[in-house]
Amino acid sequence: MTHYWLMKSEPQECSIDDALAAPGQTVPWIGVRNYQARNFMRDGMQVGDGVLFYHSSCAEPGIVGIARVASSAKPDPTQFDAKSPYFDAKSKPAEPRWLLVDVQAFRKTRLLNLPELRAVPALADMVLLRKGNRLSITPVSDGHWQLIAQKMLR
């Protein structure tokens, strides 16, 4: 059974254009440092699951593309690199704390920003739109995925 996810990336870190230009249109989703988001990758994500690619921490945040999960969860090597902003001195190679999945981008879409998403009553309970939500990875229901796909592909 396919599941759906929304994955946030700062465009200066990895944009939808960067993902589309990468070999195989695939990028490792590095730098996740939240346990709940890590657990979604470890316990919930399956190869082939749908991904809404979301630009965050930018002038106009929003959904900008469609992708898929392209690998199972594996250790994020940036946690062991002392020069990386994602370095974690407490994480050990034998017991890594942080994981990543590879994400394969399919297409860039028009920007679907937060005000437009909030204007759709059927999306009111979407995790992304909940007050206080700041997770970089959130599940997306099948119904929400279908509504958003229709809006993005117009």
Tell me what pLDDT residue 2 has: 87
Residues with Cβ within 8 Å of residue 72, at least 6 apart in sequence: 45, 46, 47, 101
Separation of alpha carbons 51 and 54, rounded Å: 9
**CA 74 to chain CA mean position, Å:** 15
Sequence spans of domains, the chain: 4-152
> What confidence tens digit (pLDDT) does each residue in 18-53 have?
999 999 999 999 999 999 999 999 999 999 999 999
For the chain, give the mean pLDDT: 95
Name the CATH topology of 4-152.
ph1033 like fold (3.10.590)
Tell me what pLDDT residue 153 has: 64
Give the pTM: 0.94
* DSSP one-letter string for 15-38: -HHHHHHSGGGEEE------HHHH
Q: How many residues does the chain have?
A: 154
Q: Which residues of the chain have pLDDT under 50?
A: none
